[in-house]
Structure 1
């Protein structure tokens, strides 16, 4: 199995690093949502989780997905090969279908009780910013390997596209998790095509119907297609997190790591109430 990917490591990773620095600086100067916890404390927690989880992406997911793509190409297996598309068509269609498969994976993370145990570690963060973009339990990253590798093979994605897509995927994940306040009219235009910070902020709300929306990663139109798009909540009204996990003392790296193996709590606040919101605006209207 191929492990070394020079273009990814020496070009893609530095570009992702540069983008992360830009997002970090901008979100520090132009904050979208008010923080509820110490930024330093959360950085310690989230980087600790990421330090365990990210190697699984680089040394397991990426090699397995690349191998699946290579084997599919050698055997002329997969939708893109059966459709006999030209090379440029395979790359465009492959990119779109990869992104659609990750929309479906994100939905599955929320609908499967087993997978949610791991994905919940990402969602119980009580603030949302750049560091949340890499706060994924290592178990979730490992679980994604068979799904994403199978998707790559069934689609028939060219192997180089796997690496290119992953760079864009990670960059967009960092972008829409960031706490950057973009000019409103710019973001309203962008969210017609790609996922933006305001759009994804709604996905991290403690209101269940808002958390169960806006699953897209790069292109926002998958949510439009499946009617899971919600853009009607102003950012000042959003409370980030999961209602049953509101104690900062539960956010230590050890407790985050062991949380999936413990009984999961019902979707309600510590006082027993279930967070709800009356709809004030059309569902597909992006609000400030």
Structure 2
């Protein structure tokens, strides 16, 4: 497990530095808030989550995958398919599972209480991709453990998916400018920053679309895909309509946010 932590940590730092460098040289949008303040808040949440995971469930998904393989549990252990095919199917099914979890995080108020912390960011950049309330991180890990058991996933599949998910989340939340032609091509396969930015729109109907983290196919197949924001990428307002002031998104207020009453959603017309 120490090797697993070093491996994931190394990939995390490499992707973080690479994407942050791209944001510095080719930003898509100007920032509303001080990046120093935002990074302080977001990195504090990230460090807090890492510490909490290491002190509690930690690498539970990988450990459960080891146990699942030893016991022969799960769907993929019921079939005699090639290892490579199980690996590919495992990655696809895990990505679909995370997509469905994301949809539920918006649809069910009990989960939205936690997930709104991620959406309360007034800007979007590489740090937003890993900015979650600690309780949501724990809920997500329990969910992934259940998926690992149900599907019968092996440890390598889980390790590779975790690395892909973290890297994809940092990339899709990045404030980087890609050429329109390149972006259109990439979007057919994976979530791009322009595609995911729509998910962080202040308009709730746009927020409730483009749920994918890694592959873009699930939004297209399951009817949750939005091509472009109604206000344009440069003018669109990010965040929550009930939380638009910097003083509302301090670290302390973000940690307490799930325990406060949910505001009633603002009335707005649906996008035609």
Q: Distance in 1 between matches of 2:268 and 2:24?
A: 29
Name the structure 2 match of 1:244.
242
Describe the superposition over 1:199-241 as per-residue Cα deviations: whole angstroms up to 9, x where unpaired. 0000000111110011111100011111101112231242100
Residue 276 of structure 1 deviates from its aligned partner by 5.0
Q: Distance in 1 between matches of 2:8 and 2:30?
A: 32
Name the structure 2 match of 1:151.
147
Q: Is this contact kept in 1: 2:130–2:166, CA < 8 A?
A: no
Residue 183 of structure 1 deviates from its aligned partner by 1.1
Name the structure 2 match of 1:76.
72
Q: Distance in 2 between matches of 1:278 and 1:69?
A: 43
Are 2:181 and 1:185 aligned? yes
Aligned residue-pair number: 270
SS of residue matched to 1:231: coil
User: Please, which runs of 5 or more residues in structure 2 have no aligned partner?
Assistant: none
SS of residue matched to 2:189: coil
Normalised TM-score (structure 2): 0.94
SS of residue matched to 1:178: coil
Q: Distance in 2 between matches of 1:255 and 1:128?
A: 19
Q: Is this contact kept in 2: 1:200–1:214, CA < 8 A?
A: yes
1:29-178 map, 5 Å: 29-57=25-53, 60=56, 63-178=59-174
Q: Is this contact kept in 2: 1:60–1:145, CA < 8 A?
A: no
**Aligned match of 2:21 in 25, 39, 43?**
25
User: Please, which runs of 5 or more residues in structure 1 have no aligned partner?
Assistant: 269-273, 280-288
1:211-250 map, 5 Å: 211-233=207-229, 234-250=232-248
